[in-house]
A and B are shown apart, each in its own frame.
Chain A
Amino acid sequence: MNLRAGWALIGTTWTMRLQTRGLFFIEALSWMVAPLAFLFVWVTAAGSGTVGGFSRGEFVAYYLLLIVIAQVTNVQHEWTVGDAIASGDLNRLLLRPMAPVLDVLAQDVAAVTVTLLFAFPVGAVLALLLRPELHPTPSDVILFFPALTLAWALRFCWSYALASLAFWTSRAGGLFSLHAALLFLLAGQVAPVALLPKPLRAVAILLPFRYMLGFPVEVLSGHLDATGIARGLAWQLGWLIVCLALARLLWRLGVRRYTAWGG
Protein backbone atom coordinates (compact mmCIF):
# COMPACT_ATOMS: atom_id res chain seq x y z
CA MET A 1 0.00 0.00 0.00
CA ASN A 2 1.54 3.29 -0.93
CA LEU A 3 1.36 6.23 1.38
CA ARG A 4 -0.02 8.77 -1.07
CA ALA A 5 -3.09 6.67 -1.85
CA GLY A 6 -3.65 6.27 1.88
CA TRP A 7 -3.59 10.02 2.44
CA ALA A 8 -5.92 10.55 -0.49
CA LEU A 9 -8.45 8.16 1.02
CA ILE A 10 -8.25 9.83 4.41
CA GLY A 11 -8.47 13.26 2.81
CA THR A 12 -11.63 12.37 0.89
CA THR A 13 -13.45 11.43 4.03
CA TRP A 14 -12.15 14.53 5.80
CA THR A 15 -13.54 16.82 3.16
CA MET A 16 -16.85 14.98 3.21
CA ARG A 17 -17.14 15.02 6.97
CA LEU A 18 -16.22 18.68 7.31
CA GLN A 19 -18.87 19.66 4.79
CA THR A 20 -21.58 18.17 6.96
CA ARG A 21 -20.06 19.32 10.22
CA GLY A 22 -23.41 20.13 11.87
CA LEU A 23 -24.55 16.57 11.40
CA PHE A 24 -21.24 15.17 12.47
CA PHE A 25 -20.99 17.05 15.74
CA ILE A 26 -24.57 16.17 16.59
CA GLU A 27 -23.69 12.52 16.03
CA ALA A 28 -20.69 12.91 18.32
CA LEU A 29 -22.88 14.59 20.93
CA SER A 30 -25.44 11.80 20.79
CA TRP A 31 -22.74 9.30 21.84
CA MET A 32 -21.86 11.56 24.73
CA VAL A 33 -25.20 12.17 26.40
CA ALA A 34 -25.87 8.74 27.95
CA PRO A 35 -22.46 8.47 29.69
CA LEU A 36 -22.78 12.11 30.70
CA ALA A 37 -26.13 11.45 32.41
CA PHE A 38 -24.60 8.52 34.31
CA LEU A 39 -21.56 10.66 35.18
CA PHE A 40 -23.83 13.25 36.80
CA VAL A 41 -25.86 10.66 38.68
CA TRP A 42 -22.81 8.82 40.04
CA VAL A 43 -21.24 12.13 41.05
CA THR A 44 -24.39 12.91 43.04
CA ALA A 45 -24.39 9.39 44.51
CA ALA A 46 -20.77 9.69 45.66
CA GLY A 47 -21.39 13.10 47.25
CA SER A 48 -18.46 13.81 49.53
CA GLY A 49 -17.88 10.10 50.31
CA THR A 50 -17.27 7.10 48.06
CA VAL A 51 -19.50 4.57 46.27
CA GLY A 52 -18.00 1.15 45.58
CA GLY A 53 -14.49 2.58 46.13
CA PHE A 54 -14.98 5.51 43.74
CA SER A 55 -14.91 9.06 45.01
CA ARG A 56 -16.64 11.96 43.27
CA GLY A 57 -13.48 13.02 41.43
CA GLU A 58 -12.69 9.46 40.42
CA PHE A 59 -16.13 9.04 38.84
CA VAL A 60 -15.52 12.29 36.91
CA ALA A 61 -12.13 11.07 35.69
CA TYR A 62 -13.52 7.65 34.75
CA TYR A 63 -16.42 9.01 32.74
CA LEU A 64 -14.51 11.82 31.01
CA LEU A 65 -11.93 9.27 29.85
CA LEU A 66 -14.77 6.98 28.79
CA ILE A 67 -16.41 9.72 26.75
CA VAL A 68 -13.21 10.55 24.86
CA ILE A 69 -12.16 6.90 24.39
CA ALA A 70 -15.67 5.93 23.25
CA GLN A 71 -15.27 8.44 20.44
CA VAL A 72 -11.85 7.02 19.50
CA THR A 73 -13.06 3.42 19.38
CA ASN A 74 -16.47 4.28 17.93
CA VAL A 75 -16.75 2.03 14.90
CA GLN A 76 -20.09 1.50 13.15
CA HIS A 77 -19.30 -0.86 10.29
CA GLU A 78 -22.40 -2.93 10.92
CA TRP A 79 -24.32 0.09 9.59
CA THR A 80 -21.90 1.69 7.10
CA VAL A 81 -20.25 -1.33 5.48
CA GLY A 82 -23.41 -3.36 5.96
CA ASP A 83 -25.34 -0.73 3.98
CA ALA A 84 -22.71 -0.71 1.24
CA ILE A 85 -23.06 -4.48 0.88
CA ALA A 86 -26.87 -4.38 0.88
CA SER A 87 -27.11 -1.49 -1.59
CA GLY A 88 -24.43 -2.67 -4.01
CA ASP A 89 -22.07 0.23 -3.29
CA LEU A 90 -19.48 -2.40 -2.51
CA ASN A 91 -19.00 -2.92 -6.27
CA ARG A 92 -17.02 0.29 -6.46
CA LEU A 93 -14.68 -0.84 -3.67
CA LEU A 94 -14.23 -4.34 -5.03
CA LEU A 95 -13.11 -2.95 -8.40
CA ARG A 96 -10.27 -0.96 -6.88
CA PRO A 97 -6.85 -2.62 -6.90
CA MET A 98 -6.77 -2.86 -3.11
CA ALA A 99 -8.59 -4.60 -0.29
CA PRO A 100 -11.89 -2.89 0.64
CA VAL A 101 -10.89 -3.02 4.29
CA LEU A 102 -8.23 -0.36 3.62
CA ASP A 103 -10.90 2.08 2.47
CA VAL A 104 -12.91 1.38 5.62
CA LEU A 105 -9.79 1.86 7.70
CA ALA A 106 -9.05 5.21 6.06
CA GLN A 107 -12.61 6.40 6.72
CA ASP A 108 -12.29 5.47 10.36
CA VAL A 109 -8.95 7.24 10.82
CA ALA A 110 -10.39 10.38 9.22
CA ALA A 111 -13.57 10.19 11.30
CA VAL A 112 -11.66 9.79 14.56
CA THR A 113 -9.52 12.86 13.95
CA VAL A 114 -12.58 15.01 13.24
CA THR A 115 -14.50 13.68 16.24
CA LEU A 116 -11.58 14.35 18.53
CA LEU A 117 -11.65 17.99 17.46
CA PHE A 118 -15.02 18.00 19.15
CA ALA A 119 -14.48 15.52 21.99
CA PHE A 120 -11.28 17.04 23.39
CA PRO A 121 -12.58 20.59 23.88
CA VAL A 122 -15.83 19.29 25.41
CA GLY A 123 -13.85 16.95 27.66
CA ALA A 124 -11.52 19.79 28.65
CA VAL A 125 -14.38 22.16 29.55
CA LEU A 126 -16.09 19.44 31.59
CA ALA A 127 -12.78 18.66 33.31
CA LEU A 128 -12.41 22.31 34.33
CA LEU A 129 -15.98 22.39 35.66
CA LEU A 130 -16.04 19.02 37.42
CA ARG A 131 -12.43 18.66 38.65
CA PRO A 132 -11.49 15.02 37.96
CA GLU A 133 -9.08 13.14 40.21
CA LEU A 134 -6.69 11.02 38.23
CA HIS A 135 -3.60 9.41 39.69
CA PRO A 136 -2.31 6.65 37.45
CA THR A 137 1.11 5.10 38.06
CA PRO A 138 3.68 5.37 35.23
CA SER A 139 3.07 1.70 34.37
CA ASP A 140 -0.68 2.40 34.06
CA VAL A 141 0.07 5.12 31.53
CA ILE A 142 2.41 2.87 29.55
CA LEU A 143 0.00 -0.09 29.57
CA PHE A 144 -2.91 2.16 28.62
CA PHE A 145 -1.65 2.47 25.04
CA PRO A 146 -1.63 -1.26 24.19
CA ALA A 147 -5.00 -1.58 25.97
CA LEU A 148 -6.45 1.25 23.86
CA THR A 149 -4.99 -0.10 20.61
CA LEU A 150 -6.31 -3.58 21.31
CA ALA A 151 -9.73 -2.16 22.24
CA TRP A 152 -9.92 -0.29 18.97
CA ALA A 153 -8.74 -3.31 16.94
CA LEU A 154 -11.20 -5.59 18.70
CA ARG A 155 -14.12 -3.24 18.07
CA PHE A 156 -13.02 -2.90 14.45
CA CYS A 157 -12.91 -6.66 13.80
CA TRP A 158 -16.10 -7.37 15.73
CA SER A 159 -17.95 -4.64 13.86
CA TYR A 160 -16.57 -5.89 10.54
CA ALA A 161 -17.77 -9.41 11.32
CA LEU A 162 -21.26 -8.04 12.11
CA ALA A 163 -21.19 -6.03 8.88
CA SER A 164 -20.35 -9.17 6.85
CA LEU A 165 -23.70 -10.63 7.89
CA ALA A 166 -25.22 -8.29 5.29
CA PHE A 167 -23.97 -10.72 2.62
CA TRP A 168 -26.60 -13.20 3.82
CA THR A 169 -29.43 -11.16 5.26
CA SER A 170 -30.72 -7.60 5.48
CA ARG A 171 -32.52 -8.46 8.71
CA ALA A 172 -29.61 -8.51 11.16
CA GLY A 173 -30.80 -5.23 12.72
CA GLY A 174 -32.04 -7.02 15.81
CA LEU A 175 -28.56 -8.40 16.41
CA PHE A 176 -27.03 -4.92 16.08
CA SER A 177 -29.49 -3.55 18.63
CA LEU A 178 -28.53 -6.34 20.99
CA HIS A 179 -24.88 -5.44 20.42
CA ALA A 180 -25.62 -1.79 21.23
CA ALA A 181 -27.54 -2.72 24.40
CA LEU A 182 -24.75 -5.00 25.63
CA LEU A 183 -22.15 -2.34 24.86
CA PHE A 184 -24.21 0.06 26.94
CA LEU A 185 -24.62 -2.29 29.91
CA LEU A 186 -21.41 -4.32 30.01
CA ALA A 187 -18.71 -2.05 28.56
CA GLY A 188 -18.65 0.25 31.54
CA GLN A 189 -21.07 2.97 30.44
CA VAL A 190 -23.82 2.36 33.00
CA ALA A 191 -21.22 1.94 35.73
CA PRO A 192 -17.56 0.95 35.93
CA VAL A 193 -17.48 -2.86 35.59
CA ALA A 194 -16.24 -3.17 39.19
CA LEU A 195 -19.54 -1.65 40.41
CA LEU A 196 -21.86 -3.99 38.53
CA PRO A 197 -23.79 -6.58 40.59
CA LYS A 198 -21.89 -9.88 40.85
CA PRO A 199 -23.64 -11.98 38.13
CA LEU A 200 -23.55 -9.07 35.68
CA ARG A 201 -19.86 -8.45 36.44
CA ALA A 202 -19.01 -12.10 35.78
CA VAL A 203 -20.72 -11.86 32.38
CA ALA A 204 -19.01 -8.53 31.62
CA ILE A 205 -15.59 -10.06 32.27
CA LEU A 206 -16.29 -13.03 29.98
CA LEU A 207 -17.82 -11.20 27.00
CA PRO A 208 -15.82 -8.98 24.61
CA PHE A 209 -17.72 -5.71 25.22
CA ARG A 210 -15.72 -4.53 28.24
CA TYR A 211 -12.51 -4.97 26.24
CA MET A 212 -13.79 -2.68 23.48
CA LEU A 213 -14.29 0.33 25.74
CA GLY A 214 -14.28 0.03 29.52
CA PHE A 215 -10.99 -1.79 30.02
CA PRO A 216 -8.56 0.89 28.74
CA VAL A 217 -10.44 3.45 30.84
CA GLU A 218 -10.01 1.27 33.92
CA VAL A 219 -6.29 0.94 33.21
CA LEU A 220 -5.63 4.67 32.90
CA SER A 221 -7.86 5.67 35.82
CA GLY A 222 -5.71 3.43 38.05
CA HIS A 223 -8.44 1.08 39.31
CA LEU A 224 -6.68 -2.14 38.32
CA ASP A 225 -3.68 -3.85 39.90
CA ALA A 226 -0.94 -5.53 37.87
CA THR A 227 -2.69 -8.92 37.70
CA GLY A 228 -5.97 -7.26 36.72
CA ILE A 229 -4.28 -5.44 33.86
CA ALA A 230 -2.39 -8.56 32.70
CA ARG A 231 -5.56 -10.62 32.78
CA GLY A 232 -7.49 -7.93 30.88
CA LEU A 233 -4.84 -7.66 28.18
CA ALA A 234 -4.89 -11.44 27.79
CA TRP A 235 -8.71 -11.42 27.38
CA GLN A 236 -8.39 -8.58 24.87
CA LEU A 237 -5.81 -10.44 22.82
CA GLY A 238 -7.85 -13.65 22.93
CA TRP A 239 -11.05 -11.95 21.78
CA LEU A 240 -9.12 -10.04 19.12
CA ILE A 241 -7.81 -13.29 17.61
CA VAL A 242 -11.30 -14.82 17.67
CA CYS A 243 -12.96 -11.75 16.10
CA LEU A 244 -10.22 -11.29 13.51
CA ALA A 245 -10.60 -14.91 12.38
CA LEU A 246 -14.39 -14.55 12.37
CA ALA A 247 -14.32 -11.31 10.38
CA ARG A 248 -11.92 -12.76 7.78
CA LEU A 249 -13.92 -15.95 7.44
CA LEU A 250 -17.30 -14.23 7.09
CA TRP A 251 -15.93 -11.65 4.65
CA ARG A 252 -14.33 -14.29 2.39
CA LEU A 253 -17.38 -16.52 2.35
CA GLY A 254 -19.58 -13.47 1.80
CA VAL A 255 -17.63 -11.92 -1.07
CA ARG A 256 -17.69 -15.28 -2.84
CA ARG A 257 -21.49 -15.30 -2.91
CA TYR A 258 -21.90 -11.55 -3.43
CA THR A 259 -23.78 -10.44 -6.55
CA ALA A 260 -25.01 -6.94 -7.34
CA TRP A 261 -25.99 -4.72 -10.22
CA GLY A 262 -24.60 -1.31 -11.10
CA GLY A 263 -22.60 0.53 -8.47
Chain B
Amino acid sequence: MRYVRLVAALFRAAAQQQLADRADFAFGLLQSILNLGAGIIGLAVLFGQVRTLRGWDFPATLALLGTYLLLRALYGLAIGPSLDGLAGVRGDVYTGRFDFTLLRPVNVQFLSSAERWHPLALLDAALGAAVLVVATGQLGRALDAARLATFLVALMAGAALLYALALACATLVFWLPGLFFTWLFDIVFELARFPAQLYPPWTRLVLTSIIPIAVITTVPAQALTGTLHVTSLAGAVALAGAALVAATMLFRRGLRRYASASS
Protein backbone atom coordinates (compact mmCIF):
# COMPACT_ATOMS: atom_id res chain seq x y z
CA MET B 1 0.00 0.00 0.00
CA ARG B 2 2.81 2.34 0.88
CA TYR B 3 4.43 1.59 -2.47
CA VAL B 4 1.21 2.31 -4.35
CA ARG B 5 0.97 5.71 -2.65
CA LEU B 6 4.63 6.34 -3.43
CA VAL B 7 4.12 5.55 -7.11
CA ALA B 8 1.05 7.80 -7.22
CA ALA B 9 3.03 10.67 -5.70
CA LEU B 10 5.98 10.22 -8.06
CA PHE B 11 3.66 9.98 -11.04
CA ARG B 12 1.72 13.08 -10.03
CA ALA B 13 4.88 15.11 -9.58
CA ALA B 14 6.17 14.08 -13.01
CA ALA B 15 2.80 14.75 -14.66
CA GLN B 16 2.55 18.23 -13.18
CA GLN B 17 6.01 19.02 -14.41
CA GLN B 18 5.76 17.56 -17.90
CA LEU B 19 2.19 18.33 -18.88
CA ALA B 20 2.47 22.00 -17.99
CA ASP B 21 3.55 22.80 -21.52
CA ARG B 22 0.84 22.05 -24.02
CA ALA B 23 3.17 22.40 -27.00
CA ASP B 24 5.32 19.56 -25.62
CA PHE B 25 2.21 17.44 -25.38
CA ALA B 26 1.33 18.13 -29.02
CA PHE B 27 4.89 17.41 -30.06
CA GLY B 28 4.87 14.11 -28.14
CA LEU B 29 1.62 13.11 -29.81
CA LEU B 30 2.94 13.98 -33.27
CA GLN B 31 6.10 11.98 -32.68
CA SER B 32 4.14 8.94 -31.48
CA ILE B 33 1.88 9.06 -34.51
CA LEU B 34 4.83 9.43 -36.92
CA ASN B 35 6.62 6.52 -35.26
CA LEU B 36 3.49 4.39 -35.50
CA GLY B 37 2.82 5.39 -39.12
CA ALA B 38 6.39 4.62 -40.17
CA GLY B 39 6.18 1.20 -38.50
CA ILE B 40 2.88 0.28 -40.18
CA ILE B 41 3.94 1.53 -43.62
CA GLY B 42 7.20 -0.41 -43.24
CA LEU B 43 5.22 -3.63 -42.69
CA ALA B 44 2.85 -2.76 -45.55
CA VAL B 45 5.84 -2.39 -47.90
CA LEU B 46 7.22 -5.76 -46.82
CA PHE B 47 3.90 -7.58 -47.19
CA GLY B 48 3.25 -5.79 -50.47
CA GLN B 49 6.08 -7.94 -51.84
CA VAL B 50 5.44 -11.25 -50.06
CA ARG B 51 2.12 -12.67 -48.84
CA THR B 52 3.42 -14.63 -45.86
CA LEU B 53 6.90 -14.99 -44.41
CA ARG B 54 7.75 -18.08 -42.37
CA GLY B 55 4.13 -18.38 -41.23
CA TRP B 56 3.70 -14.67 -40.48
CA ASP B 57 1.21 -12.67 -42.53
CA PHE B 58 0.39 -8.95 -42.32
CA PRO B 59 -2.23 -9.06 -39.49
CA ALA B 60 -0.06 -11.36 -37.35
CA THR B 61 3.02 -9.16 -37.79
CA LEU B 62 0.88 -6.10 -37.10
CA ALA B 63 -0.24 -7.73 -33.83
CA LEU B 64 3.43 -8.18 -32.99
CA LEU B 65 4.10 -4.52 -33.79
CA GLY B 66 1.23 -3.58 -31.44
CA THR B 67 2.75 -5.74 -28.70
CA TYR B 68 6.15 -4.14 -29.29
CA LEU B 69 4.74 -0.60 -29.14
CA LEU B 70 2.73 -1.37 -26.00
CA LEU B 71 5.66 -2.96 -24.15
CA ARG B 72 8.06 -0.26 -25.30
CA ALA B 73 5.62 2.39 -24.02
CA LEU B 74 5.20 0.67 -20.64
CA TYR B 75 8.99 0.43 -20.42
CA GLY B 76 9.29 4.12 -21.29
CA LEU B 77 6.70 5.07 -18.66
CA ALA B 78 9.00 4.57 -15.67
CA ILE B 79 11.56 1.78 -15.96
CA GLY B 80 13.44 3.21 -18.94
CA PRO B 81 13.77 6.79 -17.61
CA SER B 82 14.55 5.57 -14.07
CA LEU B 83 17.27 3.13 -15.11
CA ASP B 84 18.70 5.71 -17.49
CA GLY B 85 18.76 8.22 -14.63
CA LEU B 86 20.63 5.62 -12.60
CA ALA B 87 23.17 4.39 -15.14
CA GLY B 88 22.99 6.74 -18.13
CA VAL B 89 25.11 9.75 -19.05
CA ARG B 90 25.73 11.75 -15.85
CA GLY B 91 23.44 9.31 -14.07
CA ASP B 92 23.11 8.91 -10.31
CA VAL B 93 25.91 6.36 -10.01
CA TYR B 94 28.29 8.63 -11.92
CA THR B 95 27.46 11.80 -10.00
CA GLY B 96 27.08 10.17 -6.58
CA ARG B 97 23.45 11.22 -6.22
CA PHE B 98 22.74 7.51 -5.81
CA ASP B 99 23.65 8.09 -2.13
CA PHE B 100 20.24 9.69 -1.66
CA THR B 101 18.47 6.70 -3.17
CA LEU B 102 20.32 4.41 -0.77
CA LEU B 103 19.42 6.58 2.22
CA ARG B 104 15.67 6.42 1.65
CA PRO B 105 13.60 3.93 3.68
CA VAL B 106 12.32 2.02 0.64
CA ASN B 107 13.58 -0.92 -1.35
CA VAL B 108 16.56 0.32 -3.38
CA GLN B 109 15.76 -1.74 -6.45
CA PHE B 110 12.17 -0.48 -6.44
CA LEU B 111 13.20 3.15 -6.19
CA SER B 112 15.94 2.73 -8.83
CA SER B 113 13.41 1.27 -11.26
CA ALA B 114 10.46 3.58 -10.62
CA GLU B 115 11.79 6.93 -9.49
CA ARG B 116 11.40 8.89 -12.71
CA TRP B 117 8.14 8.85 -14.65
CA HIS B 118 7.32 9.92 -18.16
CA PRO B 119 3.50 10.28 -18.32
CA LEU B 120 3.50 11.04 -22.06
CA ALA B 121 4.39 7.37 -22.64
CA LEU B 122 0.76 6.58 -21.86
CA LEU B 123 -0.06 8.05 -25.29
CA ASP B 124 2.24 5.52 -26.93
CA ALA B 125 0.70 2.77 -24.84
CA ALA B 126 -2.78 3.76 -26.04
CA LEU B 127 -1.61 3.78 -29.67
CA GLY B 128 0.05 0.37 -29.22
CA ALA B 129 -3.14 -1.04 -27.69
CA ALA B 130 -5.16 0.40 -30.59
CA VAL B 131 -2.86 -1.34 -33.10
CA LEU B 132 -3.34 -4.59 -31.16
CA VAL B 133 -7.14 -4.27 -31.30
CA VAL B 134 -7.14 -3.51 -35.04
CA ALA B 135 -4.71 -6.36 -35.78
CA THR B 136 -6.76 -8.82 -33.70
CA GLY B 137 -9.85 -7.80 -35.69
CA GLN B 138 -7.99 -8.60 -38.93
CA LEU B 139 -6.75 -12.01 -37.85
CA GLY B 140 -9.96 -13.54 -39.16
CA ARG B 141 -10.73 -15.58 -36.04
CA ALA B 142 -12.88 -14.45 -33.12
CA LEU B 143 -10.81 -13.98 -29.99
CA ASP B 144 -11.97 -16.47 -27.36
CA ALA B 145 -11.34 -16.24 -23.62
CA ALA B 146 -8.64 -18.92 -23.62
CA ARG B 147 -6.55 -17.16 -26.26
CA LEU B 148 -6.96 -13.81 -24.54
CA ALA B 149 -5.84 -15.34 -21.23
CA THR B 150 -2.81 -16.95 -22.88
CA PHE B 151 -1.97 -13.62 -24.49
CA LEU B 152 -2.15 -11.78 -21.17
CA VAL B 153 0.07 -14.36 -19.45
CA ALA B 154 2.57 -14.18 -22.33
CA LEU B 155 2.46 -10.37 -22.27
CA MET B 156 3.24 -10.31 -18.56
CA ALA B 157 6.08 -12.78 -19.03
CA GLY B 158 7.38 -10.53 -21.83
CA ALA B 159 7.16 -7.44 -19.65
CA ALA B 160 8.96 -9.20 -16.79
CA LEU B 161 11.71 -10.39 -19.13
CA LEU B 162 12.05 -6.89 -20.57
CA TYR B 163 12.42 -5.44 -17.08
CA ALA B 164 14.95 -8.11 -16.05
CA LEU B 165 17.13 -7.54 -19.12
CA ALA B 166 17.00 -3.76 -18.75
CA LEU B 167 17.85 -3.98 -15.06
CA ALA B 168 20.77 -6.31 -15.74
CA CYS B 169 22.10 -3.93 -18.42
CA ALA B 170 21.77 -0.92 -16.12
CA THR B 171 23.44 -2.78 -13.25
CA LEU B 172 26.59 -3.24 -15.33
CA VAL B 173 27.29 0.43 -14.57
CA PHE B 174 28.69 -0.66 -11.20
CA TRP B 175 31.45 -2.61 -12.97
CA LEU B 176 31.89 -0.69 -16.21
CA PRO B 177 31.01 2.97 -15.80
CA GLY B 178 31.32 4.99 -18.97
CA LEU B 179 29.87 2.30 -21.20
CA PHE B 180 26.23 3.16 -21.63
CA PHE B 181 24.53 -0.21 -21.48
CA THR B 182 21.07 1.27 -20.97
CA TRP B 183 21.36 3.01 -24.33
CA LEU B 184 22.77 -0.08 -25.91
CA PHE B 185 19.79 -2.05 -24.63
CA ASP B 186 17.34 0.55 -25.98
CA ILE B 187 19.00 0.29 -29.38
CA VAL B 188 19.13 -3.50 -29.54
CA PHE B 189 15.53 -3.77 -28.32
CA GLU B 190 14.53 -2.24 -31.71
CA LEU B 191 15.10 -5.69 -33.16
CA ALA B 192 12.04 -6.96 -31.25
CA ARG B 193 9.88 -5.12 -33.82
CA PHE B 194 9.89 -8.23 -35.98
CA PRO B 195 9.05 -11.86 -35.18
CA ALA B 196 12.08 -13.99 -34.28
CA GLN B 197 11.32 -16.29 -37.22
CA LEU B 198 11.96 -13.48 -39.73
CA TYR B 199 15.65 -13.32 -38.80
CA PRO B 200 18.35 -15.53 -40.32
CA PRO B 201 19.20 -18.64 -38.23
CA TRP B 202 22.25 -17.35 -36.34
CA THR B 203 20.66 -13.98 -35.57
CA ARG B 204 17.56 -15.81 -34.37
CA LEU B 205 19.69 -17.96 -32.10
CA VAL B 206 21.29 -14.88 -30.54
CA LEU B 207 17.95 -13.10 -30.14
CA THR B 208 16.15 -16.04 -28.56
CA SER B 209 18.77 -17.65 -26.35
CA ILE B 210 21.74 -15.37 -25.73
CA ILE B 211 19.98 -11.97 -25.50
CA PRO B 212 16.34 -13.18 -25.50
CA ILE B 213 14.89 -9.94 -26.83
CA ALA B 214 12.81 -11.57 -29.54
CA VAL B 215 11.03 -13.74 -26.94
CA ILE B 216 9.57 -10.60 -25.35
CA THR B 217 7.32 -9.79 -28.32
CA THR B 218 7.18 -12.98 -30.40
CA VAL B 219 5.56 -15.15 -27.70
CA PRO B 220 2.62 -12.81 -26.91
CA ALA B 221 1.97 -12.26 -30.63
CA GLN B 222 1.95 -16.02 -31.21
CA ALA B 223 -0.48 -16.39 -28.31
CA LEU B 224 -2.80 -13.91 -29.97
CA THR B 225 -2.68 -15.60 -33.37
CA GLY B 226 -3.16 -18.99 -31.76
CA THR B 227 0.09 -20.52 -33.02
CA LEU B 228 1.74 -20.71 -29.60
CA HIS B 229 2.56 -24.13 -28.21
CA VAL B 230 1.95 -24.69 -24.49
CA THR B 231 5.60 -25.65 -23.94
CA SER B 232 6.73 -22.34 -25.49
CA LEU B 233 4.47 -20.43 -23.10
CA ALA B 234 5.76 -22.38 -20.10
CA GLY B 235 9.31 -21.84 -21.34
CA ALA B 236 8.78 -18.07 -21.67
CA VAL B 237 7.29 -17.83 -18.18
CA ALA B 238 10.14 -19.87 -16.70
CA LEU B 239 12.71 -17.78 -18.58
CA ALA B 240 11.12 -14.54 -17.34
CA GLY B 241 11.11 -15.81 -13.74
CA ALA B 242 14.72 -16.98 -13.90
CA ALA B 243 15.81 -13.70 -15.53
CA LEU B 244 14.08 -11.66 -12.81
CA VAL B 245 15.84 -13.63 -10.06
CA ALA B 246 19.20 -13.42 -11.82
CA ALA B 247 18.86 -9.67 -12.49
CA THR B 248 17.89 -9.00 -8.87
CA MET B 249 20.92 -10.98 -7.65
CA LEU B 250 23.18 -9.09 -10.03
CA PHE B 251 21.75 -5.78 -8.82
CA ARG B 252 22.49 -6.71 -5.18
CA ARG B 253 26.07 -7.64 -6.06
CA GLY B 254 26.40 -4.38 -7.96
CA LEU B 255 25.18 -2.38 -4.96
CA ARG B 256 28.01 -3.83 -2.91
CA ARG B 257 30.51 -2.38 -5.37
CA TYR B 258 29.09 1.13 -5.21
CA ALA B 259 31.54 3.38 -3.36
CA SER B 260 29.84 6.75 -3.87
CA ALA B 261 31.37 9.56 -5.89
CA SER B 262 31.77 12.21 -3.23
CA SER B 263 35.15 12.89 -1.75
What residues of chain A have their CB less than 8 Å away from a CB belonging to chain B? 22-23, 26, 29-30, 33-34, 36-38, 40-45, 51-52, 129-130, 171, 173-174, 177-178, 180-181, 184-185, 190-191, 195-197, 200
Are A177 and B187 in contact, with the CB atoms below 8 A? no
Compute how far the CA of A43 lies from the CA of B46 in the bound complex, rounded to whole angstroms: 12
Complex interface: chain A residues within 8 A of B105 (CB):
none
Task: Name the CB-closest residue of B to A172.
Answer: B27
Compute how far the CA of A30 lies from the CA of B30 in the bound complex, rounded to whole angstroms: 22
Compute how far the CA of A72 lies from the CA of B242 in the bound complex, rounded to whole angstroms: 43
Compute how far the CA of A185 lies from the CA of B41 in the bound complex, rounded to whole angstroms: 8
Task: Name the CB-closest residue of A to B184.
Answer: A26
Are A181 and B45 in contact, with the CB atoms below 8 A? no
Are A29 and B187 in contact, with the CB atoms below 8 A? yes
B50 at interface, CB cutoff 8 A = yes
Which of A41, A52, A191 is in CB contact (< 8 Å) with B198? A41
Write the nearest CB–CB distance from B213 to chain A, whole angstroms: 11
Compute how far the CA of A40 lies from the CA of B37 in the bound complex, rounded to whole angstroms: 21
Chain B interface residue number, banded: 35 or more
B89 at interface, CB cutoff 8 A = yes
Interface membership of chain B positions 168-189, coded 1 if the CB is closer than 8 angstroms to chain A and 0 otherwise: 0000000000111001100110
B190 at interface, CB cutoff 8 A = yes
Compute how far the CA of A33 lies from the CA of B31 in the bound complex, rounded to whole angstroms: 19
The 8 A-B pairs of least Cβ separation, nearest first, read: A181-B34, A190-B42, A30-B187, A33-B190, A174-B30, A40-B199, A181-B38, A41-B198
Could you tell me the dominant secondary structure of chain A's interface residues?
Answer: helix
Are A37 and B180 in contact, with the CB atoms below 8 A? no
Are A33 and B42 in contact, with the CB atoms below 8 A? no
Are B200 and A26 in contact, with the CB atoms below 8 A? no
Compute how far the CA of A51 lies from the CA of B179 in the bound complex, rounded to whole angstroms: 40
Are A190 and B45 in contact, with the CB atoms below 8 A? yes
Complex interface: chain B residues within 8 A of A200 (CB):
41, 45
Complex interface: chain B residues within 8 A of A129 (CB):
202
Q: Given A23-B180, A171-B27, A181-B38: A196 and B199 within 8 A (CB)? A: no
Task: Name the CB-closest residue of A to B44.
Answer: A197
Which of B35, B41, B49, B193 is in CB contact (< 8 Å) with A37? B193
Q: List 5 A-B contacts (CB under 8 A).
A: A23-B180, A34-B190, A41-B194, A42-B46, A45-B46
13 other A-B residue contacts (CB within 8 Å) besides A26-B187, A29-B184: A26-B183, A33-B190, A38-B42, A40-B194, A41-B46, A45-B53, A181-B35, A184-B38, A185-B42, A191-B45, A191-B49, A197-B44, A200-B41
Are B188 and A33 in contact, with the CB atoms below 8 A? yes
Compute how far the CA of A185 lies from the CA of B42 in the bound complex, rounded to whole angstroms: 7
Compute how far the CA of A196 lies from the CA of B48 in the bound complex, rounded to whole angstroms: 8
Are B30 and A44 in contact, with the CB atoms below 8 A? no
Compute how far the CA of A141 lies from the CA of B83 in the bound complex, rounded to whole angstroms: 47
Task: Name the CB-closest residue of B to A52.
Answer: B49
Which of A22, A44, A180, A181 is in CB contact (< 8 Å) with B53? A44
Compute how far the CA of A185 lies from the CA of B40 in the bound complex, rounded to whole angstroms: 11
Compute how far the CA of A223 lies from the CA of B233 in the bound complex, rounded to whole angstroms: 44
B203 at interface, CB cutoff 8 A = yes
B211 at interface, CB cutoff 8 A = no
Complex interface: chain B residues within 8 A of A191 (CB):
45-46, 49
B141 at interface, CB cutoff 8 A = no
Are A195 and B199 in contact, with the CB atoms below 8 A? no
Among A40, A41, A45, the most chain B Cβ lie within 10 Å of the Cβ of A41
Among A129, A177, A180, the most chain B Cβ lie within 10 Å of the Cβ of A177
Complex interface: chain A residues within 8 A of B20 (CB):
none
Compute how far the CA of A45 lies from the CA of B200 in the bound complex, rounded to whole angstroms: 10
Task: Name the CB-closest residue of B to A27.
Answer: B183
Compute how far the CA of A41 lies from the CA of B199 in the bound complex, rounded to whole angstroms: 6
Which of B45, B178, B194 is in CB contact (< 8 Å) with A22? B178
